[in-house]
A and B are shown apart, each in its own frame.
Chain A
Amino acid sequence: MYRIVSSIFLAENIKKLEIEAPRIAKKRKAGQFIMLRVTSHGERVPLTIAGSDPEKGTITLIVQGMGKSTRELNMLEAGKSIADIVGPLGTPSHIENFGTAVSIGGGVGTAIAYPTAVALKEAGNHVITINGARSKDLVILENEMKEVSDEAYITTDDGSYGFHGFVTQKLQELIDSGRKIDYVLAIGPIPMMKAIAEVTRPYGIKTVVSLNPIMVDGTGMCGGCRVTVKDEIKFACVDGPEFDAHEVDFTNLADRNRIYLSEEKESAEGTSHRCHLHMDK
């Protein structure tokens, strides 16, 4: 069992959890993830490690309640435990001094982009962060991003805060202004990552995305997370999750992520039903 040390909401439905996992805290590098099982009958869910404190032996996860398991996780307060956490998994981000590096996070993807932005800064890059959200109340990690960035931008789809528009538009604006950009990291929903890849492709800017396929074991034994990269099959859990954005087949990824949509809905409805019962008591 893995004990939750702290548990706070960053925005509606987005929670930051600090959990005891000493082995992982000691080993993890930017870009890596864990697989987690909330309860003994729970499914295994992949979540990126947002940070760690090796001395305290804790890791930080930032979780958006999307389906049954993430909602269950988000209901847990400090002091509670979760059944299993395994990691760190995946190949760490390739970090070097690229020059000017842009780290783009869309929605809860900001939490995944954050540790890599930290590592890029430590490697001596001029770091620009673009943090996108649907509206002002969904903006997360604003201060953290500012701290690690030489330039930090926030975009909101509805214009309620920062730049009015999508992260792609902000990136295009930077490119159009003649900024020399050597590296782009983009993490968020599949359509966003795909759109970023198309923005940078004509300029030949090296662009990396962190993919989010369905995973079961997370250690390379099932192939559930396979993605097509440069017409080859790759296992995102072992070979990734980061890949060259210009080589990824995003359509295939989006298709494959839809396989259990109806089951996920069924399962999540079960959760809300149970919560409702609980409230009635």
Chain B
Amino acid sequence: MDAQHITNKERLAIPRQPMPAQDPEVRNKNFREVNLGYTPELARQEALRCIQCKDPICIQGCPVNIKIDEFIKLVAEGDFLGAARKVKEDNVLPAVCGRVCPQEDQCEKACVIGKKHAPVAIGNLERFVADWEREHGEPDLPAIKAATGKKVAVIGSGPAGLSCANDLIRQGHRVVVFEALHELGGVLMYGVPEFRLPKEIVKTEIEGLKKMGVEFQTDVVVGRSVTIDELIEEEGFDAVFIGVGAGLPWFMGIPGENLVGVLAANEFLTRVNLMKAYDFPAGSDTPVFDCRGKNVAVFGGGNTAMDAVRTAKRLGAEHAYIVYRRSEAEMPARVEEIHHAKEEGIEFLLLMNPLEFLGNDRHWLTGVKCIKMELGEPDESGRRRPVPVEGSEFILPLDMAVISIGNGSNPLIKQTTPDIEVSKRDTIIVDINTMATSKENVYAGGDIVTGGATVILAMGAGRTAAKAIHDKLMGTAVNHNEW
């Protein structure tokens, strides 16, 4: 169909184009990407479904306000490179966001078509154009304004820091990003698995920032290697953005949690993703628990839990369970990830709460004692509170347990920069319009402010902070609604 001459009725008659994927029984044995991406034909077909509404509220649904209508129009016309550049005006990591954003709660939730039909697959299209540009495009760097002579330190190279660095470098500021690990990308490198987000794609998108002039220093732990005060007073930074995320794993505090074979999802995923332990010993020196033929349970119901359990299955687990104390309806994980997990043979043990980990005489994990739950009245979060069913205890035999019940804030910044005000939960307190902290010229955004949230919300916070930092450094008028 011709993008120029198509009626809305014809557009609405096109079904949402499904995403091609690896067969579940094949992919649950490898670490290659599950979703294979649209072909140009599928992408154009899907793009034709967008009715180009006058008031594209999908844009408000996107935390970084990508010009969704414009880029989709370009896809429909077959100008994929043009579409990719349109997306990049607002989003520095489109190949990442197209893959990991919960579009169903953001842009696609706002899509007008979604009221009566399936919403336009904005995420799939974003991913398609970013992949197309990476595979076919010549390096095309956005315009960088004249140097301002100002210098900004960005702490943390996760989504918030990268997005902030991108907007600041375009404004002509010097930007140095400090990263504690040896690889850049934060949770995109150590958390999200290769089968959902290939690491080469993250590296390529970050490479774009390097070409634009952003400097990166890995192996620097701010708070230990250097403090925020030293960055400002000794190294001459005019402003600092803190995007260090929420990386401190929570444990459940039940007996037996320190048995051998009980680990946090962060450790399990870091070993496998960042350190590539799935390739031990041939391609990596980092070992991981040998899951082959074993019973593995992941405790939790978020995206991290899904990532961990699907990883365990790929490492050869005989049984890979999700143990969650509420029902599937309350699971915070994306519907797509739950669906993928089920297809891959993950077993869901819902409405079950662990009471105690059990071990043998060598203190290795042998099982977990659980109790069944039923849903009671809604709690503060609005979700129905799970209540134990008396006398329903049972033992689930296990070789490895992975705890995935959430993360808190690393205390290092708080300990070493006490004049930055933090909440009771140790998150940094900011003015939500500017992301300014209580400390002069220091800003913060992403999970260190909100607690564990999404990649795209962190990126939105990075943009807001970049705008405010620019205004502050240049002494320009402060109107936060016009960015």
Residues of A within 8 A of B (CB): 23-24, 27, 37, 39, 41-44, 68-69, 83-89, 216-217, 219-224, 226, 228, 233, 238, 251-252, 255-256, 258-260, 263-264, 266-267, 270
Contact = CB atoms under 8 A, between A and B. Distances in A.
Contacts of B260: 255-256, 258-259
A220 B248 contact: yes
B258 to A, nearest CB: 5
Given A216-B270, A221-B270, A223-B249, A41 B284 contact: yes
Contacts of B267: 216, 222-224
Give the interface centre of B219, B259, B271, B281 by most chain A CB atoms within 10 Å: B219
Given A216-B271, A256-B258, A263-B280, A88 B181 contact: no
A226 B226 CA distance: 25
A72 B385 CA distance: 53
Contacts of A43: 275, 284-287
A87 B363 contact: no
Nearest to A266: B281
B115 interface: no
Contacts of A256: 258, 260
Contacts of B362: 255
B12 interface: no
Question: Per DSSP, are chain A's interface residues mostly helix, strand or loop, or mixed?
Answer: mixed
Contacts of B224: 27, 87-89, 219
Interface string B260-291: 11011011001100011000110111110110
Contact of B266 (A68, A84, A223, A266): A223
Interface of B: 180-182, 190, 218-221, 224-226, 247-249, 251, 253, 257-261, 263-264, 266-267, 270-271, 275-276, 280-281, 283-287, 289-290, 362-364, 410-412
20 contacts: A42-B285, A43-B286, A84-B219, A85-B219, A86-B182, A220-B248, A220-B410, A220-B411, A220-B412, A221-B190, A222-B249, A222-B264, A233-B253, A238-B411, A251-B363, A252-B363, A259-B260, A259-B289, A263-B280, A267-B280
Given A43-B286, A44-B286, A89 B276 contact: no
A180 to B, nearest CB: 35
Contacts of A88: 224-225
Given A24-B225, A41-B284, A224-B267, 18 more contacts: A27-B224, A27-B225, A43-B286, A44-B286, A84-B219, A85-B219, A86-B219, A219-B224, A221-B266, A226-B258, A233-B251, A238-B411, A251-B363, A255-B362, A255-B363, A263-B280, A263-B290, A266-B281
Contacts of B259: 255
Given A86-B219, A216-B271, A267 B287 contact: yes
A209 B120 CA distance: 60
Nearest to A83: B182
A65 to B, nearest CB: 14
A259 B261 contact: yes
